[in-house]
A and B are shown apart, each in its own frame.
Chain A
Amino acid sequence: MRTSQATTVRIIASALFLLALLVAVPLLIEATGRTDLYYTLTSVALLSIISAGVWITFYIGRINIGQGAYALMGGYVSAILVTSYGMSFWLTLPLAGLFCAAASVLIGLPILRLRGVYFAMVTLVLTEVARLLALALPVTNGASGIVSIPLPSGISFFGVTLVPDFATLANPRLAFYIVAVLLMALCFLSLYRLAHSRTGQLCQSLQQNEELASSIGVNIAYLRVIAYALSSFFGGVGGAMFAAIAQSIYPSSFTVADSVNFMLNCFLGGLGYVLGPMLGTFVLYFGWDLLFQTGEFQLLIFSTVLIVLMLALPNGLLSLAIPRKRSV
């Protein structure tokens, strides 16, 4: 009885949160006239999707610093399909994710055997490789990248317009914001389901002790490839969406620094919490933006705050909430 009550409360709380994001935030933005916030919030939503992918690899006990590679890959897949083959953006969005997932299975099969620092280092190098590939391949157009990608077209179903053509909209920023928030909600919903499913429990057993898990009969090789593929899927979708908003993609769109940031987002939010990546991304991105006024001292203050945060709360921001939960 108590658990079902708690579930109801949680569902209502998430619904209210989503409603606030979709209705209250746009109203507030219109009221205050800060339309630039749309872009900021859209970025936070998309970055938190990409970071959620990193969180999944943390869930199986791997430190993933290669998410930038998949974000870049997803962006390029979507951009190439839209510009060269004239596909609808909405079709390329899942395709970009699937392409990244397939690529990550191929890459993951050898490298997922590595652990700890080795896996972290190899994924870090992966980001650099993705950049070099984007520079070297003929289809990606080298350093000049792919520019002036058309805005997403509309979807109509038997004459009923489900999604309007973004190019005809008066305020495409708002449309992008809503799409990003919906995607984020979908992503974190599936993350929550995953973490509380049987597969999620099995993934946690990998995090604790792989040999023990495999001795009980958990198919660890299969599980970690699946988890890594899902992680890359999120990365690809996020990257494709970014390419659509910026209407361009370059080899330097996602670099090693971005990959490190995705990992930092997860760390900062707390690795033991599904909502950790969302909170971490929000704090890091807004913190960075707020510090813009400090000019040349931006990076200095930002990194100092990070170091101090690490010293004070080495287990993530959400770990502040643990003592309260325990006492109930």
Chain B
Amino acid sequence: MEQVIANGLYLGAQYALIALGLTLIFALMNVLNFAHGQMYVLGGFVTYTIYGQLKLPFVVALICSGVTLAVIGALMERFLFRTVVRRSKREESTMLLAAATAFFLDAVMLLLFGEKQRGVPKIVSGVFASEGVILPYDRIMVGVIAILMIATFMLFMQYSKPGRAMRALAQDRIAAQLMGVKVERYSMIGFALGAMLAGIVGGLLVSITGVNSGIGGPISIKAFLMVMIGGAGVVGGAIAGGFILGMMESVGLATLREYGDVTYLVIFALLMIFLSIRPNGLMGKPWG
């Protein structure tokens, strides 16, 4: 049982970090970023190249992953999403654009990195073992880094000037603009920040599970699940959703093993029941 909880916490920490980026972009731009999983994979590949191929320290690789994705996110917002949001008659058009960018990133990664599964050597070796729990040290480290990053992110959003501006933007775009918040600049920063989070998680997890260019889509789907559980556009909701999904997956894999690969079916059935009671998730606002 302790083992199940430990696994759930570890999974939850990494999931929450993925969901945070997605929900941030949604809150600021009202854009459902289909390419989030692809951004995660790209972050993984950057770390693979720098840490696995060039043999530079892991921290450098992680920072490079974050910076690369932040730049890509900022460019995407500036040149693609901003234009389409301005010109389109329906908000949904940004979804098509997001799907197209997901295809685009997939294509680029396939060309650059091929379709093989890529992994890197472990960052720290050894296994932590006590009476009920066995966890490799590298998983513990990744979990701890993820939790530290979540805490940093929340402090940043709560107390820094850009964080306050972005929260204002998420609450009411027009009111924020009237109060002198530079809406366009902070949209761009927010998009870059969301992409950066995806890239860093990708970089962290390449050291444990590895990456291949095909897993972007499934990662996006998991991120959507978490955001639905917690409520779209709410930071606390994304974190709660991440930990809940991580825990359910861990418990499901442990208890439903004899019925075959049905964990996600059960999770989805539960989600449907839950959503029919609370259509906006745990903490979501009742918007359209």
Contact = CB atoms under 8 A, between A and B. Distances in A.
Interface string A281-323: 0000000000000001101101110110011001100000000
A118 B111 contact: no
A303 B104 CA distance: 5
Interface in B46-85: 80, 83-84
Contacts of B232: 117-118, 121
Interface in B192-224: 217-218, 221, 224
B127 interface: no
Contacts of B284: 118
Interface string B250-277: 0000000000111011001001110110
Residue in B83, B97, B99, B275 whose Cβ sees the most chain A Cβ within 10 Å? B99
Contacts of B228: 118, 121-122, 125
Nearest to B224: A121
B264 A117 contact: no
Contacts of A107: 272
Interface stretch (A182-190, A219-227, A263-271): A263-271
A257 interface: yes
Is the contact region of chain B dominated by helix, strand, or loop, or is it mixed? helix
Nearest to A302: B103
Interface stretch (A73-81, A90-98, A127-135): A127-135
Given A117-B32, A118-B228, A256-B217, A310 B97 contact: yes
A159 B89 CA distance: 56
Interface residues of B, number: 51
B188 to A, nearest CB: 17
B225 interface: yes
B84 A267 contact: no
Contact of B104 (A110, A304, A311): A304
A132 B32 contact: no
B243 interface: no
Nearest to B268: A129
Interface in A86-137: 107, 109-111, 113-118, 120-122, 124-126, 128-129, 132-133, 135-136
User: Which interface residue of B96, B97, B111 has the most chain A CB atoms within 10 A?
Assistant: B96
Interface string A122-166: 101110110011011000000000000000000000000000000
A136 B260 contact: yes
Given A111-B272, A129-B268, A260 B99 contact: yes
B275 A111 contact: yes
B95 interface: yes
B224 A310 contact: no
B116 interface: no
B108 interface: yes
Nearest to A210: B288
A63 interface: yes
Q: How large is the interface on A (under 10, 10 to 19, 20 to 34, 35 or more residues)?
A: 35 or more
Residue of B34, B84, B271, B279 ringed by the most chain A CB atoms within 10 A: B279
A129 B267 CA distance: 10
A303 B275 contact: no
B265 A129 contact: yes
B268 A117 contact: no
Contacts of B276: 109-111, 113
A136 B269 CA distance: 15
B26 interface: yes
Given A296-B111, A314-B87, A307 B104 contact: yes
A63 B262 contact: no
B107 interface: yes
B101 A307 contact: yes
Contact of B288 (A58, A115, A311): A115
A110 to B, nearest CB: 3
Interface string B7-42: 000000000000000000010001010100000000
Nearest to B217: A256
**Which 3 pairs of residues, A with B, have the shortest CB-CB distance?**
A110-B276, A314-B88, A299-B107
27 contacts: A63-B92, A111-B272, A111-B276, A114-B275, A116-B288, A121-B224, A122-B272, A124-B221, A125-B221, A125-B225, A129-B264, A129-B268, A256-B217, A263-B96, A271-B92, A296-B110, A300-B104, A300-B108, A303-B101, A303-B107, A307-B97, A310-B97, A310-B100, A311-B84, A314-B89, A315-B88, A315-B90
Given A116-B287, A303-B101, A306-B103, 9 more contacts: A115-B279, A116-B288, A118-B232, A118-B279, A122-B228, A128-B221, A132-B262, A132-B264, A300-B107
